Amino acid sequence: MSTVHNESIVRTVIKKVSAYIPQVEKPKKKIGLSEKFIWCGIALLAYLVMGQIPLYGVTDAPQFDFLAFARVIFAAQQGTLLELGIGPIVTAGLLMQLLKGSELIKLNFKDPDDRSLFTSATKVVTIIVIIAEGALYGVSVYGGLLAHPSLIPVLIGQLIGASIVVMYLDELIQKGWGLGSGISLFIMAGVAQGILWSIFSPLPAQDGPVGIIPFIIDSATQGDLANTLFRSGQLPSIFGLIVTALVLLALVYTQGIHVDIPIVSTKYRGFTAVYPIKLLYTSNIPVILASALLANAIFMGQMLWANYNPENSNPLFNWIAQFDPQQSQSPTGGILYYMTSPNSLEQGLADPVRTIVYILFMTAIVTVFGRLWVELGGLSAKSAAKNLLDADVQVPGFRRTQSSVQSLLNKYIPAVTIAGGIIIGLLASVSNVLSVFGTGIGILLMVDILVNYYNLLIREQVDIHMPKLAALLGRT
């Protein structure tokens, strides 16, 4: 009784709080594909402009970028209004998905009221995370870098306000004004921007232009093309360009590998389809979780080192981590050193033990997180079987019972979870070592998002030309 009572209180609180939070209304009429592209362009332009506006009152950049690990994942830009990027939205979304998948929140998503409640709860949690992260990051990272201490509330207000604007841009797209989600769009644009910068940037570096194409032209005019194959200092090279292309091809190929289970509708006679179980079943979520775990470990190591071992003189602490006092961004020794990627192929070849340990560790932890996400994220064979039956479909030759369908799915889902985790972990870790353009995790995210957008565009075309079929596919 107490559980039911507590759940009722939570529902009441969420409904009352969400009544005071502005909402983006769904379009009252059907939006055409061209108009959706326009709205996506407007949202993306606003996001990119915010990423160029510096934080008011900040006189200097932080000595260390504590979010360096997550700039790609969070589509964030240091020192700008997008300091936090989509981080609070992703954090809140993952939290709500874990609560939903673990059934700590009991909701029936066939009920419109429960779906609306979940959406409202996600927005409330997102705002709470935005306020918490904005306040903590503003005080701890930028508190000592302001022109005057009285500007701290102004700085926190900028971080919170910008994140709320990003939240509404994402909601604008998700509510049907655009395609897909704003989060995916912003991540994809950020990674693509990084790749294009590595290819075409004319800005000078220590050995020539940053971008590989201008660097090749510059080297050709000087008659020295040999230096374009490899470059020091993590600068883009021909080798990096080739590896980036190979990783992209490998990801596109693996994205297309899946097992198709035939299904038929129990409501519409003669309608058949397939239920695909992709090799990359858990997508890129395990890589994101693994990256976040490693980053938190490095962050804690930095804090402990700065307070208790700044000279690397404590033998016991040196087993955990050592940092360069001049540049403590990455560990230079200890366990954390072997858990992080070499910054370049040159460093990887100089210390092959570290490279091998990092690749094996990253692959193992991504695989473990993939297995956990299947259970907690509602992707298990049990959850998938229930979803199929709830969608009024059945597998030919199998009884329409959850146990029967679950036994069939159990033949594939655990195997593809492990295999997909190993493949994704290897691709992410090896790509980081080889310094691919856009980073390994960035490339993984971009390809996954592009594949999803491709599927969305196909569905939009079906909706335009065959609306009855699209409606039927939407039900299944």
Question: What's 260-315 look like in SS3?
Answer: EEEEEECCCCCCEEEEEEECCCCCCHHHHHHHHHHHHHHHHHHHHHHHHCCCCCCH
Query: Average pLDDT of 441-461?
Result: 82
2-19+32-179 maps to CATH 1.10.3370.10 = yes
| Tokens 């970028």 -> residue | 65
Structure-model confidence comparison of residues 302 and 279, the more confident one: 279
- What is the percent of the chain with per-residue pLDDT over 70, rounded to a whole number? 88
Would you state the pLDDT for residue 6? 58
pLDDT at 469: 44
Kindly give the pairing relationship between strand 258-265 and strand 322-324.
unpaired
Q: Measuring CA to CA, how many Å separate 185 from each of 75, 177, 178, 280, 418?
A: 10, 13, 10, 21, 28
pLDDT at 142 over 70: yes
List pLDDT tens digits, range 390-432: 777 778 877 778 788 888 888 888 898 899 889 988 988 888 8
Domain 2-19+32-179 and domain 210-292+346-475, same fold? Reply is: yes
The count of other CB atoms within 10 Å of the CB of residue 235 is 20
How far apart are alpha carbons 239 and 245 in whole angstroms? 10
Domain boundaries, the chain: 2-19+32-179, 210-292+346-475
Do 74 and 67 meet the contact criterion of CB atoms below 8 Å apart? yes
Q: What is the mean pLDDT of residues 457-472?
A: 59
Residue 109 has pLDDT above 70, yes or no: no
User: Are the CB atoms for 344 and 234 separated by under 8 Å?
Assistant: yes
Mean pLDDT of 325-349: 79
**pLDDT value, residue 475:** 44
Q: Calculate the average pLDDT of the chain.
A: 81
- Strand, coil or helix: what is 74? helix
Tokens of 309: 């071992």
Please give the model's pTM, rounded to 2 decimal places: 0.78
Q: Which residue has the tokens 């993590």?
A: 234
User: What is the model's pLDDT at position 341?
Assistant: 84
Share of the chain above pLDDT 90, in %: 12
Which tens digit of pLDDT belongs to each residue from 255-284? 888 888 888 877 767 667 778 888 888 877
The architecture (CATH level 2) of 210-292+346-475 comes to Orthogonal Bundle (1.10)
Residue 92 confidence (pLDDT): 83
Per-residue pLDDT at 466 exceeds 60: no
Report how far residue 96's alpha carbon sits from residue 174's, in angstroms, rounded to the nearest whole number: 17
For residue 323, pLDDT over 90 is answered with no
Give the residue-averaged pLDDT of 108-136: 82
| The residue type at 114 | D
